[in-house]
A and B are shown apart, each in its own frame.
Chain A
């Protein structure tokens, strides 16, 4: 199935506009593993007939890692530039496929004059299901054991625990919980610009610990909702020698796979 993903600029050139802006994010644009998530989200939006577009070459880092590393100047440069672009296109509704982008767009851009209705892709897809615009049946996940790892910036920071779980429920799989889940979820170790640096000295890696906890549930699939969690936990699963046995999949990938997209 070929993707129908116009950019805002292309639509504007044709005198058209889109209801929803799909905010892809840096990982979703460039990282091979995260690009699969981006494509899955786009396929689902296409399948549901959502009028959406991306910024493409006009998209730019939200500034989240810069702000959390302490670089307020760079963050605001990014934010103010992005807000100008978004407001230029009259964007009102955004779907972000990364909880860090989601959080920054939702909670931090209003400080600088960018007020949008922002959804994480799990929330948006769940709404499509509830509206009957999208249907999901278990397919290849039927009877499998799935455990969901809460991304910090979706769960604890923004209080969204249910939308991703509601989506996983649709897969006719057994949903398991780790001991530390929802508001007590344990970080994958990537946030706060950690993914861009070497960890400080310690006696373990955060993502190894979290992957071990997920594997201990006996899961066949570790479901995530964040490209950085996906990278970290994939490495963690490999570290524990479970590569090829246990999949780390974004919820959007799982739903798209179940729908044979």
Chain B
């Protein structure tokens, strides 16, 4: 009874904490202007199914893809067991579903155990890659400090959660086996054989007393349960939020052609009015507060969702020609900085009002190093678009501050004056024909 009350209280606290954090996230995303990406819903759902659910863009790195798939499938399926844990916890029962499900229950447990073991294995390999032998993108300066600790925390939590499950099963079986031996009716009492992985752990518990096994199994059960809730509440602070946000993030993918930058309609109106005196602008059109983006408020919803969905894998940065030739630009850092700036605004205070995404979080040098080659866009497994943020910030620099590099200003001046980025007269454009 007491444990039921305690359980329910812990569960309620965990869910309340997570709900609070999700509302905070919604406040963060609401800072942005609308994305306008609610068109073509059928295509959005199918993109989500292919890219997020189906892991469709993980292929180019097969080892990482295979291990990620194990952790992903493991995470989703093993958490079905949480249903039983919650029911047991509230009702004060023990393995409530075992009898009703019969043989299926053992089948499921065997499946979960094997999957759990593979998850542990994959996480150990991930840790080894991150701390030792892995690719440069996992040891990149972008990750110095908290991001790297965050990544290690997540892997350790996963290993602990899965280990707790396996150890609990082993201790429970050992207890059951010992008590049936005492009754000397082992063959009748002990109808089930041990489950596949926990069965291998039984030697760990040889000689343990009944009460010790009981207490150990119970503590592992609590550890697994509290661990899941802690994990849930850790997620919103972590890069690992991607396990949830990847799905809506892919739903909000850019569906327009990759090579198309959204047109600013206010600019179109202005130019049309200039070119055609009879042009009547839309009287209801609201001029934008600002051209381009200086801060997160100027970006659109999908940009900020991108930032929260980024798991900092660095595939973008490892493909970026600017980054790979030692420039300061790192597309991953563009997304990380955007998220950090949203958090700073949410926290309020002087920094929220006095700082901006531009200059305080992302430098002009980074923005001007981009070749717009789209390698980062191609590389992202969840369709994050760092280039969109870079281009909007360039628009702010050029259209609000006239702060392009001087040579770019020369090229743009030439386009304006003689229709080419170089200072050749437009009248000479056809000279090649007879030269």
> Chain A: residues with CB nearer than 8 A to chain B?
3, 5, 7, 24, 26, 28-30, 35, 38-39, 42, 54-57, 59-61, 63, 65-74, 76-78, 80-81, 84, 103-104, 106-108, 111-112, 152-153, 156-158, 183-184, 186-187, 189-194, 196-206, 209-210
Task: List chain A residues, Cβ under 8 A from B40.
Answer: none
**5 pairs of A and B residues whose beta carbons are closest in the complex:** A70-B394, A203-B326, A192-B372, A56-B430, A202-B326
Task: List chain B residues, Cβ under 8 A from A183.
Answer: 378
Task: List chain A residues, Cβ under 8 A from B292.
Answer: 70, 72
* CB <8 Å contact, A190 and B259: no
* CB <8 Å contact, B415 and A197: no
* CB <8 Å contact, A184 and B329: no
**Interface positions of B from 209 to 247, Cβ below 8 Å from A:** none
| CA of A203 to CA of B256, assembled, Å | 35
How far is the CB of A146 from the nearest CB of chain B, in Å?
Answer: 23
How far is the CB of A40 from the nearest CB of chain B, in Å?
Answer: 11
How far is the CB of B154 from the nearest CB of chain A, in Å?
Answer: 28
Of A3, A29, A74, A104, which is within 8 A of B429 by CB? A29
Task: List chain B residues, Cβ under 8 A from A200.
Answer: 322, 327-329, 365, 368-369
**Segment from B27-35, B65-73, B107-115, B399-407 that makes contact with A:** B399-407
* CB <8 Å contact, B411 and A202: no
User: Is residue B424 within 8 Å, beta carbon to beta carbon, of the partner chain?
Assistant: yes
* CB <8 Å contact, B369 and A199: yes
Given contacts A65-B421, A76-B267, contact A196 B407 (CB under 8 A): yes
Of A28, A73, A81, which is within 8 A of B267 by CB? A73
How far is the CB of A209 from the nearest CB of chain B, in Å?
Answer: 6
> Chain B: residues with CB nearer than 8 A to chain A?
60, 256-264, 267-268, 270-272, 275, 291-292, 319, 321-322, 324-329, 365, 368-375, 378, 391, 393-399, 404-405, 407-408, 410-412, 415-416, 419-422, 424, 426-435
Please give 17 more A-B residue pairs, beta carbons under 8 A apart, in addition to A65-B411, A78-B419. Answer: A29-B430, A30-B428, A61-B415, A70-B391, A70-B397, A70-B404, A71-B398, A71-B404, A76-B267, A107-B256, A111-B263, A152-B374, A156-B378, A189-B321, A192-B370, A192-B373, A206-B371
* CB <8 Å contact, B427 and A57: yes
* CB <8 Å contact, A63 and B415: yes
* CB <8 Å contact, B408 and A196: yes
| CA of A181 to CA of B399, assembled, Å | 35
How far is the CB of A151 from the nearest CB of chain B, in Å?
Answer: 10
Of all chain B residues, which has the CB nearest A204?
Answer: B325
Given contacts A56-B429, A192-B373, A204-B326, contact A68 B407 (CB under 8 A): no
How far is the CB of B170 from the nearest CB of chain A, in Å?
Answer: 46
* CB <8 Å contact, B398 and A69: yes
